[in-house]
Chain A
Amino acid sequence: MPANTPIYGFTYPCNGDPISVAVFQALANQIDTRLQSVQLDENYALGRHVHIASIANQAGIAPGVETPLTNAGAVYTVVDAGIYVVSFGFFLINTTTLDSTRVRIRRNATPNFGVTLNNNANNSYNTNCVGVIQAVPGDTINPTVLWVGTGVGTMANQRLRIRQAVRIV
């Protein structure tokens, strides 16, 4: 009776088994199929999703309203299920007065993490937040901003960086 290797089950003849070209062909096909699976793993390893966007300024942001950032590059649509490391840098400017700024990174409509700034005495400055999001295809990853003060603000120096850390197959 033919036997099989312990892990992938490649079939080989044993003592007394007839040997024909079909035996060679079957083993070759089994190995070839397994190599195609390895090729997929290689593609996954080399083809990790990355999103790097420097986003144009978004003006007209009112205080007291959680506002999604929408300029090109601010919304990332997930292609493959996985764990994504997300980093977002920003700078809120042009307000009349500024007490605080909060940015949150959402998966779809749900905030996952964020950072709060105390802009006491109307000081505006660059900052950054970073976290992870577990997502499935079609999910969107998008920052929102909520600020307290007066006037109308502009989100500037927006830098959204997303790296797929783990692929969930």
Chain B
Amino acid sequence: MTDCVACLDPQNYAAIALKLQETAIHAEECIYALETSLREVTNPATIIATTSGVPNSNANILLNVTIANVTTYANSALTSYATATQWTTGMWQVGMNLTATATGAVTDNSYRELYVAVKAADITLSPAALPYPGYSQISMVTVTEPNTGNGVDMTISSVVALTRAEDQPVFFFRHGNTGSAMAIANGGQLWATRLGDVTSLRVV
């Protein structure tokens, strides 16, 4: 507090009231700045959404699974996972989990892929495949269908850097189940939590 509040001189005691006002205001400024920083650390911007109404996925077609979801937790201005304008720049840990089940015949040992990528603003949300212009920081997991009657559970997580306004993380699903389309069950989770600022190192 000694950095924020100056002591009175003996010849200035007539200004006690004014000095108390200054003390109160300076104390508030110092505490507010500290409290705000600590609250950002304790309660980083976080969102959790569950899939709801993702359309069925045809074989060998990259399907955006981010667009049909319902937010179940949000503690910041980011209240919708699919709205690019709500994402802030920074380092984010993002992830998704889902269960995919064949709607009809199961193609044994066929692939299931779950992707995460960062999409730049003004880029189409329907790439034919990944990599694709405008999509960066791509990660992918693959499982193959065991055909044991339980569908396929998948999870993916990555740390991504959102460096420009309207950068946003997106998730895609693709499969090789030529026997039938695949359904993404409601209740899959999309989530993201902000880890901090994107800091550029200064080269001296």
> Do these two chains interact?
yes
Given A8-B31, A41-B39, is A115 in contact with B17 using a C-beta cutoff of 8 Å? no
Docked pose: A10 CA to B20 CA in angstroms: 10
A residues 126-169 in Cβ contact with B at 8 Å: 129-132, 134, 146, 148, 165-167, 169
Chain B residues within an 8 Å CB radius of A169: 43
Do A5 and B25 touch across chains, with their CB atoms under 8 A apart? yes
Number of interface residues of B (CB under 8 A): 45
Q: Are A132 and B189 in contact (CB under 8 A)?
A: yes
Q: Give chain A nearest CB distance to B41 CB in angstroms.
A: 4
Question: Whole-angstrom distance between the alpha carbons of A31 and B48 in the complex?
Answer: 37
A residues 22-75 in Cβ contact with B at 8 Å: 23-24, 27, 31, 34-35, 37-38, 41-42, 44-45
B75 CB contacts on chain A under 8 angstroms: 166
Instruction: Name B150-175 residues within 8 Å CB distance of A.
Output: 150-157
Across the interface, B154 reaches (CB within 8 A) one of A14, A45, A85, A116, namely A116
The CB with the most chain B CB atoms within 10 A, among A37, A166, A167, is that of: A166
Of B60-68, B141-149, B196-204, the stretch lying at the interface with chain A is B141-149
Distance of A149 Cα from B149 Cα, bound (Å): 13
* A34 pairs with B154, CB closer than 8 A: no
B139 to chain A, nearest CB (A): 12
B46: chain A residues at CB < 8 Å are: 83, 165-166
Rounded to whole Å, the gap between the CB of A129 and the closest CB of chain B is 4
Residues of A contacting B144 with CB < 8 Å? 118, 120
Whether B152 pairs with A134 at a CB distance below 8 angstroms is no
Q: How long is the Cα–Cα vector from A14 to B189 in the complex, in angstroms? A: 56
User: A3 CA to B24 CA in the complex, in Å?
Assistant: 10
Name the A residues within 8 Å of B148 (CB-CB). 99-100, 148
Is B95 an interface position by the 8 A CB rule?
yes
Tell whether, in the assembled complex, residue A113 and residue B189 are in contact, meaning their CB atoms are under 8 Å apart.
Answer: yes
Question: Are A100 and B20 in contact (CB-based, < 8 A)?
Answer: no
Q: Contact at B155–A41, with CB atoms within 8 Å?
A: no
Within 8 A of B (CB), among A69-119: 83, 85, 87, 99-100, 102, 104, 112-119
Q: Which single member of A5, A102, A132 contacts B28 (CB below 8 Å)?
A: A5
Contact of A113 among B32, B38, B153 (CB under 8 A): B153
Contacts of B34 in A (CB 8 A): 38
**CB pairs A–B below 8 angstroms (25 shown):** A8-B32, A10-B27, A12-B20, A13-B21, A15-B17, A27-B24, A38-B34, A41-B39, A44-B42, A83-B48, A85-B193, A99-B148, A102-B153, A114-B99, A114-B153, A115-B143, A116-B151, A129-B97, A130-B156, A131-B155, A132-B191, A148-B146, A165-B46, A167-B42, A167-B43
Which residues does A use to contact B, with CB under 8 Å? 3, 5-8, 10-15, 17, 19, 23-24, 27, 31, 34-35, 37-38, 41-42, 44-45, 83, 85, 87, 99-100, 102, 104, 112-120, 129-132, 134, 146, 148, 165-167, 169
Interface residues of B (CB under 8 A from A): 16-17, 20-21, 23-25, 27-28, 31-32, 34-35, 38-39, 41-44, 46, 48, 72-73, 75, 93, 95, 97, 99, 109, 143-146, 148, 150-157, 189, 191, 193
